[in-house]
């Protein structure tokens, strides 16, 4: 069975990495089982064999694959099965970079303290130091008045909102890897925080609800908050 190192919080069942969620959903898309191994930020040694220091790390027999984009391409090329299990189109990579350059940084600035608070204590100091350096202020200062910054998030979500008003999924009639990439960002939020970033009357909320429920509620049943 395929194995994957998956970022965990203090509760080892709290799996919140948006990059790992992409791959969890991609594996479910392909109908493949996976054994997820909980991993913490400070356990660099445990994945040293992969030649780098980040998760997800996928182990498929003799193959070790890192980087969520490369893993998704590996799965797409190695396990195409049938056209109906295709996940990729050319434009998916634009959505990947939009998520990583635009959406993730905005969500991070809302929830960085919640992420911190769900980490094991040895991870907390690593996380606080590295993220405060990245963000240029204390985690507490970053999230102060976060309610006031929700309109920024809502505004940058407009292309996603318009897309979902025209078709069921980003990918079209059925979900694809672009959906898993964007969903990963919302699942990241949902796994660490009760702070609500989507209103129930938002079409994005409805889409997220569908995403939570596919694959037998894989994401719905994950340890997280009801937001």
Residues found near a second copy in the complex (CB under 8 A): 89-95, 97-98, 101-102, 158-160, 162-163, 166-167, 169-173, 176, 178
Q: How far is the CB of 204 from a second copy (least distance, A)?
A: 12
State how far the alpha carbon of 135 is from the alpha carbons of 60, 139, 163, 165, in Å.
Answer: 36, 8, 31, 34
Q: Is the CB of 12 or the CB of 100 nearer to a second copy? A: 100
Q: Is the CB of 61 or the CB of 90 nearer to a second copy? A: 90
Q: Is the CB of 81 or the CB of 94 nearer to a second copy? A: 94
Q: Is the CB of 93 or the CB of 222 nearer to a second copy? A: 93
Q: Please name the residue that has the structure tokens 């969520």.
A: 68
CB 219 within 8 A of CB 189: no
Q: How far is the CB of 87 from a second copy (least distance, A)?
A: 11
Q: How far is the CB of 99 from a second copy (least distance, A)?
A: 9
Q: Is the CB of 47 or the CB of 107 nearer to a second copy? A: 107
Q: Is the CB of 47 or the CB of 65 nearer to a second copy? A: 65
As given in the structure block, the two tokens for residue 57 are 């790390």
- 3-37 residues labelled b (16+ CB within 10 A) or e (exposed): ebbbbbbeeeebbbbbbbbbbbbbbbbbeeebebb
Q: How far is the CB of 8 from a second copy (least distance, A)?
A: 29
CB 184 within 8 A of CB 212: no
Q: How far is the CB of 168 from a second copy (least distance, A)?
A: 10
Q: How far is the CB of 175 from a second copy (least distance, A)?
A: 10
168 prior amide bond cis, ω within 30 = no
CA 76/CA 62 separation, integer angstroms: 18
CB 95 within 8 A of CB 22: no
């Amino acid at each position: 069975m395929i194995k994957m190192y998956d970022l965990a919080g203090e509760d080892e069942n709290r799996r919140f990495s948006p990059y790992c969620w992409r791959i969890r959903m991609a594996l479910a898309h392909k109908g493949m089982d996976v054994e997820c191994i909980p991993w913490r930020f400070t356990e660099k040694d445990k994945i040293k064999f992969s030649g780098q220091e980040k998760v997800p790390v996928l182990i498929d027999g003799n193959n070790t694959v890192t980087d969520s984009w490369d893993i998704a391409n590996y799965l797409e090329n190695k396990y195409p099965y049938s056209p109906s299990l295709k996940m990729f189109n050319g434009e998916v990579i634009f959505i990947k970079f939009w998520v990583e350059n635009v959406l993730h940084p905005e969500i991070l600035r809302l929830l960085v303290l919640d992420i911190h608070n769900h980490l094991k204590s040895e991870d907390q100091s690593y996380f606080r130091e590295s993220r405060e350096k990245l963000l240029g202020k204390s985690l507490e200062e970053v999230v102060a008045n976060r309610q006031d910054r929700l309109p920024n998030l809502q505004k940058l979500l407009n292309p996603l909102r318009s897309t979902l008003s025209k078709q069921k999924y980003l990918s079209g009639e059925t979900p694809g890897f672009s959906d898993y990439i964007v969903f990963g960002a919302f699942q990241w939020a949902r796994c660490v925080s009760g702070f609500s970033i989507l209103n129930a009357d938002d079409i994005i909320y409805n889409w997220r609800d569908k995403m939570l429920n596919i694959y037998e509620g894989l994401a719905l049943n994950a340890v997280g908050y009801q937001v």
